[in-house]
Structure 1
C-alpha cells in the first residue's frame, strides 16, 4: 500500500502536517521511490535573500494540491512510494560547510533506490546535489530551466555560489555537456558573450524570447530526442517564470516563461530517465500572496507526474 497525501475532506487544508502535499514523514529514504527533501538556505544568493524560507512555504502551499492530475491522467501516488524526509541541516553561517553537508546528506539518501525531489533554497544547492548524483550515476544529462545560465567563474571571488553552479558542474564532469539544455535564459548581462561560452562547451541554450507566445511541447520533444535514455537531472529555478507569475524570487527578470509553458515543457519530458529534480529560488518575503510558492509546489507535482514508474489512469 503506497502512501497517499492527506485529503482535504479528511483534514481541512489549513491543518495537518507541514509536509509536501501533507504526505507522511520519515527519517530516511528507506523503502521510498520518491523522497521530498528541503534545503533551507540563502547564503549563496547575490541579490535578494529569503530562500531559506522557501521549503517551508512550498510545503504550506502544496496542501492545496490533490493527488490526481486531471489533465495528464497521472496518479503518481498509486505507483510510487513517496514521503517527506525533512530538511538538510545546513550551516547557515558557512556556505562552504553547507555545501559539504548537502553532498553528505544526499550520499546517504542515494544509498537507497530513490529519486530525490528537492525544495530550495538558493540555486547553489544544485552543485552539491549533482556531486552526489554523479557518484551514483556518473555524468548526467541536465534540463536547467532558469532566467540565468549560472555559469559565472566566480562571484565576489567565491567559486561556489548560486551563479557559478553549472560552470563548476561542467568542470567537475558531473554533467554531459552536449546533453545540457538551458531554457528560459534572458535579461541583461555584463558582456555580449555571457551565454556563448557555455555554448562552446556543448550546452544547448534556449533564450526566453525565442519561445515567446509559443507552445513548449515541440521544444520538449527536441530535448527528449537529444537526451535519449540516459539518466537526467532536472533543475527548475522559479525565476525562469515571468515575475507576473512568480514575483517571490531573489533575482527576477521580466519577459519570462508563463505557467502554461512551464507545464507544457514538463509534461513533454515524460519518458526521460529522471533520477532527481529540484525547485529552487522561492523567496517568501517577496511572495506576499503565496502565489510563487503555490506555483513552485505545482511544478514539483508536475515533475513527480513524469517520473519513471508513474501510474496513469
Structure 2
C-alpha cells in the first residue's frame, strides 16, 4: 500500500507541473532534485528511495530508471564518473572509456559514433545481473564506472591519438578500488584499474597498448578481426604529389608500430582470430609472423569448432598478461552489418560468446571493442547489441581472474 501511495505522489508531481511553484524532491542517496508542482501541501516531499525499494530496487543512484528505456545511458548502467574532472579521485576497478575516432579508416567512416551506439546496445544489461553461462555477477567482483568519452579532435589524427593516450594513461596510473590476495603482475607490484575502451576505429589500439605496456610490460594480444592490421607504412600513390610522403598510422597498420615499439609479447605469443579478408601480397604473411603473430582463420571453426579456436588462443598467449582487441567485423555482416569494412563468412555471435567464455582464467589487463559504425546498423540495432554483449563477456573475464601472479 505504501508503494502505491508513494507512486501516486510521484505521478501527481509529474502531471501537475507549474512553473511558478517549486519544492525540493528528496532523491535516493540523500540527493535533492528541484521539481515544480501545483500543490506542495497536498503532495509534500517525494522519496525516490522508498518508491524504488517498494518496486524491488535498492540502487542509490536515482539517475537510473527502473526500465531499460529511461535514465542515463551508460555502459551496462555503470555509474557515470567524471574521471578527468571533479571525480578524478574516485577509485574503481574497471573504467569504461569512449574513443570517438574514425579519421584513420580506409573505407566507410562512422565509428566515431560507436561508443554511444555500444552504450545504447547495453541498455537492457546490468552489472548486477547474473551471467548464467559464465556463472558470474560482475558487480560482485569489480566496481565498474563509465568515464564517458575522450574529447578527441577531428582535424588532426596525431593530436587525437595523443589525447587518447594521455587519458588512458591517467586512468591506468591510479590504484584500483579493490586489492586481491597475492602479488600483482604489474611492474610496480600495485593493483591498477583496467580499462574497457569503446571505439572508434581500430587505430585507437596503438595508444591503448602503450598504456598497458607501461604498466605490465609487453602483452600478448588476442586480436579478433577479419583483417591482419599488420601492414607496413606505405608511401602515397596516385600522382606526382608528395611521392615520398609516408601515410601515417591507420586502422590497418597500428600493429606494425606496436611491434616496432616493443609493446607486443615476443616469441609469437600474439594471435589473430577470425581472419578472412584478402591481402595484397604474400609478403604480408611473412611480415605478420615477424611482427609476433600466429593466425587462426575464420574458416577454422568449421574444422575444429569453437573449442579448437580457444585451444589455439591459449597455446599462443600462455600465461602472459593479455590484451583483447575486437573488431566487430570478426562477426559475419549478416549479424553485425554496422561496420566500416565488412567481410562475409565471419563468426556467429554465439561462436564469439563461446570463444570468450573459453578464455576464462586468462589475465586480461585491458580490452577494446572497435569499428562499430551505428549509421549502417539495422533498426533492430543488432550490431550495437552484439558489441555490448561482447563487452559484457570481456568484463566477465576480468571479474573471474584477478591480476595476480
Query: Which TM class, normalised by the smaller chain length?
Result: over 0.9
Matched, 1:215 2:305: yes
How many residues align? The count is: 308
Between the aligned partners of 1:213 and 1:85, the Cα distance in structure 2 is 42
Partner of 1:293: 384
Between the aligned partners of 1:193 and 1:308, the Cα distance in structure 2 is 40
Mapping for residues 9-48 of structure 1, pairs under 5 Å: 11-28=66-83, 30-48=90-108
In structure 2, the CA distance between the partners of 1:254 and 1:6, relative to structure 1 (3 Å rule), is: farther
Q: Does the CA contact (< 8 Å) of 1:34 and 1:117 recur in 2?
A: yes
Between the aligned partners of 1:273 and 1:172, the Cα distance in structure 2 is 22
Between the aligned partners of 2:166 and 2:59, the Cα distance in structure 1 is 29
Matched, 1:102 2:170: no
Q: Does the CA contact (< 8 Å) of 1:145 and 1:184 recur in 2?
A: yes
Matched, 1:189 2:189: no
Partner of 2:249: 160
Q: Does the CA contact (< 8 Å) of 1:140 and 1:174 recur in 2?
A: yes
SS of the counterpart of 2:80? coil
Partner of 2:296: 206
Between the aligned partners of 1:73 and 1:119, the Cα distance in structure 2 is 25
Partner of 1:147: 226
Q: Does the CA contact (< 8 Å) of 1:4 and 1:77 recur in 2?
A: no
Q: Does the CA contact (< 8 Å) of 1:35 and 1:117 recur in 2?
A: yes
Q: Does the CA contact (< 8 Å) of 1:5 and 1:21 recur in 2?
A: no
In structure 2, the CA distance between the partners of 1:94 and 1:225, relative to structure 1 (3 Å rule), is: same
Between 216-225 and 129-138, report the one with greater CA deviation. 216-225
TM-score between both structures, scaled by the size of structure 1: 0.92
1:87-123 alpha-carbon deviations (Å, 9 max, x no partner):
1110111111111111111110111211100111100
Equivalent in 129, 146, 154 of residue 208 of structure 2: 129
Unmatched runs of 5 consecutive residues or more in structure 1: none
Mapping for residues 161-176 of structure 1, pairs under 5 Å: 161-176=250-265
Partner of 1:81: 143
Between the aligned partners of 1:5 and 1:144, the Cα distance in structure 2 is 38
User: Deviation of residue 5 (structure 1)?
Assistant: 11
Between the aligned partners of 2:361 and 2:254, the Cα distance in structure 1 is 26
User: Deviation of residue 32 (structure 1)?
Assistant: 0.8
Mapping for residues 34-73 of structure 1, pairs under 5 Å: 34-66=94-126, 67-73=129-135
- Deviating above 4 A after TM superposition, structure 1's stretches of 4 or more consecutive aligned residues are 3-7, 308-311
SS of the counterpart of 1:84? strand
Partner of 1:138: 217
Equivalent in 115, 118, 121 of residue 197 of structure 2: 118
